[in-house]
Amino acid sequence: MNHATEVFQPLQGDDPPMVAGYRLAARLGAGGMGRVYLSHTQGGRPVAIKVVRPELADDPEFRRRFRREVEAAQRVRGAYTAELIDADADGTPPWAATLYVPGPSLTEAVARRGPLPVPAVLWLVAGVAEALQAIHAAGIVHRDLKPSNVLLAADGPRVIDFGVSLAADFTSHTATGAAVGTPHFMAPEQASAGEVTAATDVFALGQTAAFAALGRPLYGDGSAIGVLYRIVHDEPDLSLLPEPLRPLFARCLAADPRDRAGLAEIVQWCGQRLGADAGGAGPAVWSDVRGPDVTAPSPLPTPTRVLPQPLVVTQPQPLPAGPGERRARGRRTALVTTAAVTAGVVALGGLLWAVQDAGNTFGDWVAGAPSTPGPGPSGRSAGPSTASPPASGRAADAEGGTPQASKPSPTASGTPRPIGLVLQRLDAKNSLSFEKPFQREDRKGDIRFDCENTGCALESDTSVFVQMFTDEAVSLDECRLMLAHADQRRWPLASVPVAGQICVKHESGDIALLTVQTKSTALPELAALTLDMTIWRRAAT
């Protein structure tokens, strides 16, 4: 297997050939914030270009935060960080460039060789802790430290990707509740939308080091929702870790941020146990952990400009056509035009039929979606629904047919039946309600859309919100689990993508699942959302 082929992937059809003068040579990967490409400076030095996703770039609050983070990140100068050398927060889309680090990520190294030996883990922790010291000194909290954001260079680890970090002096330091990060490596306060501080990165450092020592996440695999619940409510099982490292992990993974070790203490603790190796190029096992070096591709040659050549007509011009030939040409032209128009009408009719059929199918699914997971590839019921589709913006009972009263009867097993609402629009003038009329033309409903304060958000006086960080369809039981301790009545939309899911619990005990279908927040005065909403009556436990 060619490792270089895995690291440097060819550009795809939807990749830009150039970003702000940087010619892209290969794709390095993708993450929650965007795609990463290999490019080169004018002098030929390789750099990594991160291009922000369109749905994030569309949010003015994200751009403001990203601009402040870029300004802060340019002040970071650490031996164990990848230096930010260029960026444009106002670009279309926004982007940032860091020096390219030749070496695998910690994720790749563990996948290749398994858990790291204790000396390599100590060297890793010491280097990452030093990197975090430099990052925090610049007023930044990383907020997304994880194995894929730690690269293993020849002389030690490098921490990369401050793209979802948050400037510590930013007044809305948690973006008013947005839990941004990677679920398996979040701290408890981050998973529950609490205050994010430098101690949050210490918890992520403990989880990242535990992954290196175990070869898997400390809090287990499974759905992101289940992992977040364990992080918030369960103590980590330190008996799984090598005995010499347990005191370190106990200090890093304390539930209370005030009880966690400081970064200087962590560096000193690791250095004492590494001894003489701490001052050199790393423990002897470091090269084995990194694996073979991979050379970055050379810069792409500058394309040569080709001037257009003048068109030379070599065929003789035809003689003017007589009246008979002109009439024949006119008939042929008319036939061709008629055939083209007919084909266009047929194609348009087929398109309209396909769109109508897709809409009916989607309406059937919403009206008949079961509340309890059944068999199927994703753990959800895969059987077809027999319910008739509700009209856009209207509610359908779980058994389909004509819209019924807003409180359907429970099933025989006691599980509430869902009420499906399709394509509900939210803007600055209307709201959504748990009771009929579900879509109100005023601001007196249970769920409102607001862009006047610090970015666009959902807010409520009667309900609490929790964003579900998963690509799979969320069930009622999962919403119940994550809403059990929820207290956020305003949820920012900067981190909610199209198809993102948000669970909502009304004070009456009703639960709703919101699924974003369209999101337009670039111009606050014209901002709007389109949502699908599923309601379960008296579902809270």
Q: Find out whether 404 and 419 touch, Cβ atoms under 8 Å.
A: no
Instruction: Tell me which residue of 182, 226, 178 sits closest to 207, measured CA to CA.
Output: 182
Residue with tokens 């390599």: 120
Q: Among residues 373, 230, 281, 290, which one has the least CA distance to residue 102?
A: 290
CA separation, residue 487 to residues 37, 194, 259, 484, 495 (Å): 39, 10, 24, 9, 18
DSSP assignment string, 108-156 = HHHHHH-SPPHHHHHHHHHHHHHHHHHHHHTTEE-----GGGEEEETTE
Q: Is 309 exposed, middle or buried (0-12, 13-18, 19+ CB in 10 A)?
A: exposed
- Amino acid at site 388: S
For tokens 């175990």, name the residue: 214
DSSP calls for 341-409: HHHHHHHHHHHHHHHHHHHHHHHHHHHH--SS--SSTTSS--SPP-PPPPPTT-EE-TT-SS---SSPP
Taking the CA of residue 451 as centre, how many other CA atoms within 13 Å lie in the half-sphere pointing to its CB? 22
Question: Which two tokens mark 367?
Answer: 């009206």
Question: Residue 308's CB: how many other CB atoms inside 10 A?
Answer: 5
The token duo for 120 is: 């390599």
Distance CA 443, CA 440 (A): 7
State the DSSP string of 449-480: EE-SSSS-EEE-SSEEEEEE--SSPPPHHHHH
Residue 468 exposed, middle or buried by CB count within 10 Å (0-12, 13-18, 19+)? buried
- The one-character DSSP state at 317 is P
Kindly report the CA angle at 138 between 132 and 141, in degrees rounded to 5? 50
Distance CA 149, CA 3 (A): 19
**Do residues 495 and 179 touch, judged by C-beta distance below 8 A?**
yes
Q: List the catalytic residue out of 58, 59, 144, 532.
A: 144
DSSP 177: G
Any catalytic annotation for residue 144?
yes
DSSP string across 479-531: HHHHHTT--BSEEESTT--TT-EEEEEETTS-EEEEEEEEEE-SSGGG-EEEE
Return the closest-CA partner of residue 63 out of 91, 85, 38: 91
Place of tokens 């010291």: 133
Give the torsion sign (CA, 231, 222, 182, 266).
positive
List the catalytic residues.
144
